[in-house]
């Protein structure tokens, strides 16, 4: 049976992802308003007891102390509020700590908000910001970008396991196909393997279509203590496992370029004592910031043998309608990747899927799901397990 | 009786605060090594299960994803690690979330690390960084600094309650006198009221001696589940209350300049259900980033009537040897204020005091204490209550 649920999601909201006209305050407000409106039996905003904000502050808009602004825009100035930052994994870690706040009995109902405003920023050093999550001392300032790191990973993967171009392209094709079904996705346009493979080079062997876009967006979750969840809805989505790991920030100090040990450790912790094992998971939301990252994730999380993720992907198993749909919302690749919002957005998708509300992209009778959120190129990772009510 | 303890501090470490030769990695390592060495019955580093890093990333050294570096320097690369940032209150909030991690039963033993490297930074925009925790849109970019905000608070306080210069000076004199007794303090030098009052003006009515310094430093805490604390020591320091609040980030939107509502709310939450009330608190560690802030804290936290904190201070009650010693370690004013380290450093001082290990600055038979940590000029605040074993 495993341990009882630690928390329950009772409401969730999500803005469009993309190059949006809305500023960061408005994005927060829209996501929270939607989350509040989504609660089946309604919720009084005054009953929210704490706020967890996940943001890199990419834009330079408000680099420090931004949590109180999120409380203002949530309509609750004065609410205890804290910012959690682990680069691209900020959202997964904010959820992990929000779960603790209710699981410890301290709070009944808390709000998790993920935000990034990455486009249309007046800051003169915009290109500087994304890199701040890589190793500054020995890698970033020497010119290694995130695309560069993942390019190295893809090249090494091919050297160890054989040609990978077709599988990488299929990841992009699949996630773009899923994005077409998601009205919030940045890209809602299908691509072909030929288009992907012929894309302009970015960091060999990765081309333009192997990279997720730079997006604006926000997402929000209402997280309750399990024993009070049914005050809000008959269909809570329970959080039944949480795991995290880290690794050396500098890629050159890691043991391998073809796996992300932080992800492996996070999955191990999440499944320890969980009420189900990998075989019973119905869908995955994994961190596909680059196409190679989705292949690594399938292996690191234990859903494919080492070197086997390309074959699994090419078999169609990870498509909607396949045996184990991966990133039904389009993933970072097509849905977009507003840094701080991504981990929260993954849980939003699971909330819809496990309640049968995912519309055209619904995964059959989905009951159990996993989310996987990576910080930078694998310095941090968070994994959560969910089950339907 | 109140609720049982939520967590226990079983070890603590602290570097010197000041303009130090050590870089940020070394500061983390030194603080963690000390914390590990301080555990009476010893602790295996491998038994630490998670790390909470509190830092503003002030230096620009590693703005994003720094948590994994702290895990490396703690001798535990791979450890689940997360960064918590609420400006100058980052440390208090990191402690709050670390307490949740053990109080929820998820972990047995976690590490809290507070860090800031503020001097000797090559970044060309050093002066830019501190301001990033103020309201960027309407105040910071218009030129309002933190000294400016607290200057407005002091001026308004004087307008409402009468002359305050002598009391402000006494805060500085007292905290410098305490700093003389703290070998880790940035300033270990006494000052007189005349010196303070005659200091070069910074933001009227505040002068140089009303302002805390810009410091480097780190502090670390080992936080355990209460039921396992005695594996590590016969003298754990229990955390028996945690409270937090926020307020509008922009000072112009707040209801008053002579109180910090976030502090008031944080104290209320902390004392709700606590095993003791204000009358039984033996010492306070409050957030005296400017002298006026200590007066506001005494009132916001409920230890003085409104307008009465100056008189209380001038009576000598808040000095070592007085009825309610405040900032026996010298406070931010004399000990220094390495942003992310401050809230952790306050708990370090309490750990020493409640175990009778504070040496020349020991507060008699201290049994119960309160820490108070403010983010920016009051956008966020965290309060903790502690009792000795």
Q: Is the pLDDT of residue A75 over 50?
A: yes
Q: Could you report the per-residue pLDDT of B106-152, keeping only the tens digit for each?
A: 999 999 999 999 887 655 555 556 777 888 888 988 889 999 999 99
A299 within domain boundaries: yes
CB–CB contact B64 A81 (8 Å): no
A186 within domain boundaries: no
CA torsion through residues A316, A322, A325, A327, sign:
positive
User: Which residues from chain B sit within 8 angstroms of residue A67, using beta carbons?
Assistant: 86, 246, 379-380
What are the structure tokens assigned to B322, written together? 């007085």
User: Which residues from chain A sit within 8 angstroms of residue B269, using beta carbons?
Assistant: 80
Which residues of A form the catalytic set?
88, 337
> Cα(B171)–Cα(B169) distance, rounded to whole angstroms?
5
A136 closest CB neighbour out of B61, B87, B103: B61
- Per the structure, the complete domain to which residue A369 belongs is given by 7-125+212-388
DSSP secondary structure letter of residue B81: E
> Cα(A132)–Cα(A243) distance, rounded to whole angstroms?
25
The whole-angstrom distance between B25's CA and the closest CA on chain A is: 11
A135 within domain boundaries: no
A259 within domain boundaries: yes
Least CA distance to B264: which residue of chain A?
Answer: A78
CB–CB contact B244 A80 (8 Å): yes
CB–CB contact A249 B72 (8 Å): yes
Which residues of B form the catalytic set?
88, 337
Beta strands in B251-367, from DSSP E residues, in sequence order: 283-285
Stretch among A111-120, B25-34, B298-307, B354-363 having the lowest mean pLDDT: A111-120
pLDDT mean over B60-89: 93
A252 within domain boundaries: yes
Q: Could you report the per-residue pLDDT of B189-200, keeping only the tens digit for each?
A: 999 999 999 999
The whole-angstrom distance between A32's CA and the closest CA on chain B is: 18
Percent of chain A at pLDDT above 70? Answer: 96
pLDDT confidence of A188, banded at 50, 70, 90? very high
Rg (CA), chain B: 19
pLDDT of residue B1: 45
Residue with the two structure tokens 């196409």: A291
A246 closest CB neighbour out of B67, B244, B265: B67
A168 within domain boundaries: no
Q: Is the pLDDT of residue A61 over 90?
A: no
Q: Quote the number of domains for chain A.
A: 1
CA atoms lying within 13 Å on the CB side of residue A261? 16
B78 closest CB neighbour out of A100, A136, A265: A265
B56 closest CB neighbour out of A64, A79, A133: A64
B343 within domain boundaries: yes
User: Which residues from chain A sit within 8 angstroms of residue B103, using beta carbons?
Assistant: 100, 104-106
pLDDT of residue A130: 72
Q: Is the pLDDT of residue A269 over 50?
A: yes
Task: Report helix, strand or coil for B23.
Answer: coil
Question: Phi then psi for A350, rounded to 5 degrees?
Answer: -65, -40
pLDDT of residue A290: 98
> Cα(A218)–Cα(A216) distance, rounded to whole angstroms?
7
User: Which residues from chain A sit within 8 angstroms of residue B50, using beta carbons?
Assistant: 244
B158 within domain boundaries: no
B81 closest CB neighbour out of A62, A63, A380: A380
pLDDT of residue A142: 86
User: Which residues from chain A sit within 8 angstroms of residue B84, using beta carbons?
Assistant: 82-85
Measured in whole angstroms, the distance separating CA B114 from the mean position of its chain's CA atoms is 10
Q: Is the pLDDT of residue A195 over 80?
A: yes
Which residues are bridge partners to B337 per DSSP? none
Mutate to test the interface with B, among A23, A65, A67, A287 (most CBs of B within 10 A): A65
Mutate to test the interface with A, among B4, B5, B67, B130 (most CBs of A within 10 A): B67
Contact predicate B349/B204, CB 8 Å: no
The whole-angstrom distance between A53's CA and the closest CA on chain B is: 10
CATH code (residue B78): 3.40.47.10
Task: Report helix, strand or coil for B298.
Answer: helix
């Amino acid at each position: 049976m495993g341990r009882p649920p630690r928390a329950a999601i009772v409401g969730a909201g999500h803005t469009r992802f993309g190059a949006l006209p809305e500023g960061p305050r408005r994005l927060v407000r829209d996501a929270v308003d939607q989350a509040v409106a989504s609660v089946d039996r309604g919720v009084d905003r005054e009953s929210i007891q704490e706020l967890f904000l996940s943001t890199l502050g990419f834009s330079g808009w408000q680099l420090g102390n931004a949590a109180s602004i999120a409380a203002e825009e949530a309509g609750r100035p004065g609410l205890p509020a804290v910012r959690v930052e682990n680069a691209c994994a900020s959202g997964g870690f904010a959820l992990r700590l929000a779960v603790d706040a209710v699981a410890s009995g301290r709070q009944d109902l808390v709000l998790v908000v993920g935000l990034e405003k990455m486009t249309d920023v007046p800051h003169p050093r915009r290109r500087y910001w994304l890199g701040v999550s890589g190793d500054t001392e020995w890698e970033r300032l020497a010119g290694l970008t995130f695309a560069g790191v993942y390019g190295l990973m893809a090249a090494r993967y091919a050297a160890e396991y054989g040609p990978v171009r077709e599988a990488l392209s299929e990841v992009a094709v699949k996630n773009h196909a899923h994005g077409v079904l998601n009205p919030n996705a940045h890209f809602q346009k299908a691509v072909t393997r030929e288009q992907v493979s012929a894309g302009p080079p970015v960091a060999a062997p990765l081309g333009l279509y192997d990279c997720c876009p730079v997006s604006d967006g926000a997402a929000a979750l209402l997280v309750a203590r399990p024993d009070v969840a049914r005050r809000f809805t008959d269909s809570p989505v329970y959080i039944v496992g949480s795991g995290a790991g880290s690794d050396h920030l500098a890629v050159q100090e890691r043991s391998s370029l073809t796996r992300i040990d932080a992800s492996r450790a996070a999955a191990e912790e999440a499944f320890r004592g969980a009420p189900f094992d990998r075989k019973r998971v119905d869908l995955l939301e994994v961190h596909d910031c680059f196409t190679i990252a989705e292949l690594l994730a399938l292996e690191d999380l234990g859903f494919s043998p080492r070197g086997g993720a390309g074959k699994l992907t090419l078999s169609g198993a990870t498509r909607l309608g396949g045996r184990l749909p991966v990133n039904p919302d389009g993933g970072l690749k097509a849905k977009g990747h507003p840094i701080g919002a991504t981990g929260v957005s993954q849980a939003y998708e699971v909330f819809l899927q496990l309640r049968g509300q995912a519309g055209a992209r619904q995964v059959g009778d989905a009951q159990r799901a996993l989310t996987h959120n990576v910080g930078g190129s694998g310095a941090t990772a968070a994994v959560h397990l969910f089950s339907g009510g």
